[in-house]
Structure 1
Amino acid sequence: MTNPSLDDPQVFKRYDPEGMMNHLHRLPQLCQQAWQMALDFKLPPDYADIDKVLVLGMGGSAIGGDLAASLAQAEARLPIIVCRGYELPGFTDAKTLVIASSYSGNTEETLASFEQALKTGAKKLAITTGGRLKDLAQERGIPIFSFDYQAPPRAALPFSLLPILCFLYRLGLISDKSPAVAETVPLLEGLSSRIDETVPQSQNRAKQLARRLYNRLPVVYGAGITAEVARRWKTQLNENSKAWAFHEVFPELNHNAVVGYQFPEELASRIVVVLLHSALLAERTQLRYLITGQLLERAGVSYQTIDGEGQSPLSQVMSLVLFGDYVSYYLAILYKTDPSPVKAIDFLKQQLTKG
């Protein structure tokens, strides 16, 4: 059976009834909106008196913290840590800013760790659309960055990333990212116009890569500011495309993963490695990309390099994020599956309620 044509408008109507494509179109403007909302948000002055930032979250909400931490790493004077799970780290104290990020406000792992944080002297902030998290924060007078955007949590990424970056800036921890946002928004609009559903596959790199990944196992490599983008690609391929996918990070992968290219031999022809590259990466890291490509060729493993766009780290990261979102969307269409629902997660949550 042949898979769908990515140049047929009717295909998108058939397999995307909930309109995931609309969220991809809106991502650039959502970045602008989320940044402005965060600039206008009232932060308590004493929140600057901290020595660490702890982001609580899972899935599409946690990835914003991951990306923010990677973007802030080069200049932040304190650690920014993302906590995925039920347990609050033991180092949480009065010098900690705890940011609980949950799109729905009902993520059970995030709620469990946030409720533990309520028993500490930590400074606290919630990012959510509502749910139990918003109720808990309101009851205790904790600042709430509340937004109203109806979408799967992973499609609301700007609201879990840009506010954290903005708060770090306003607390004096990193430089003002307004110029980077001003560069990133039109750059993303331009990128989207080159890879959206109206651009034919012959001229559309995102559609071409999706074709290449069809019926293959994607493994995504990143480094530095692209390391967490690789995680984003992996999770988007899982949730949008309903496909197996994995990610690895330089330079660590050069100390183990490259040795594993040999067996099982039959996998070599079934894997496609995607290397997420940025011209801003360290020179030695970029050399590792080239040498790793040689090792992949020697092992008979197909690979492709995708470069970030723009001058700022934010534009490099977000251009790679958006490109990956489009690839995962097109791959879902090729698999004739709706990119929006996550039925396996829904089943898991239902079963957990019985436990």
Structure 2
Amino acid sequence: MVAHDISILLDLKLQEEWRGGARLCGSNDAGREIVRAGPEVVGTKANGEIKVLEYVEEEGSDATKQRQASGLLKYFQSFDSAFFLHMMMIILALTNGLSKTFQRKDMDIVNAISDVESAKRELDKLRSEHGWNPLLSKVCSFCNKNDISVMDMEKEYANPKKPRQRTGINNEHHYRVDCFFAVLDLLVEELNHRFNEVNNGLLCCMFAFNPSCRFSHYDDEKLMKLAKFYPNDFSDNELDYLEKELCLYIDNVRNDTRFASLETINDLAKLMVSTKKHNSYPFVYRLLKLVLTLPVATATVERCFSAMKLVKNALRNKMGDDYLSNSLIGFVEKEMLDTIPNEVIVKRFHAKNHRGMKRKELEG
């Protein structure tokens, strides 16, 4: 393989790995794999990507690719690379549980909000000496093990882009404040933005509709508070009717054996329609429909847009709407597709192609 072909493969592989890293940004396993691969990449250079980089650096026909490969090789053997890899693992370890909680379709809202608050408190603890000192110790140990020069934290920091310019800060301030604390602040700011007091109150009120454990989470005060979040859907008179309906509704469903084994709000809405109770309690059902839009407007839709960025990339920018929709279904609904045997799919495609051949024969 010539150097030009390898350099093209290098570009594609690096892009794919960076996209893969972005997809796994909430996974602790991804962070552990990154750091576990570190000694191979930095120390023995046994990794295949390193060999490709070395080949492009020496034999590449494109000078730009050669410089890029050389820069990447130097970066893999630097203190910066080791520091950021270990920092990623610590942060991913804290956010892994929170990420998995919000990826579950049957997530417990109250526990999810509690997990958010716990994650914010743990991120705040990392700003103390108990968070910084263990991180620095692990990075230094990793560097000594793999023959990487360790930064003297007391020396003045030199900006690699402007080495002659005085920065006025030491290396510890740069790595601890400008790098480590900056990432922690961004994470906390994002959590505070997405889970502010209003959103948390809305989610907790929504959970009062949960029918699991024979409606043990029911709370009419929270549901009335939830209805007041929608002034365009409930007038003052309708709020009074809703308050009376809620009392009748909860007494009715708790004594109806058909509602005894429900687990999710979706199941509750479906059963209310099938049993015609949505006609008996129209205001309760209206509020229930508004609650059902909350997960759709947040997690599910956001997951679809994230999948769209991965499916419709630069190489597929001319993809049609039908093909894109079908591809997204296969990407988002992986659990459902896993339940379909391969034999069923093969038979369906075989029958479809067989019908197409017959149609062509008739037209001919």
TM-score normalised by L of structure 1: 0.25
The structure in which a higher percent of residues are helix is: 2
Return the TM-score normalized by structure 2: 0.25
Between 1 and 2, higher relative CO (CA 8 Å, sep ≥ 6) is seen in 1
Which of the pair has more CA radius of gyration? 2
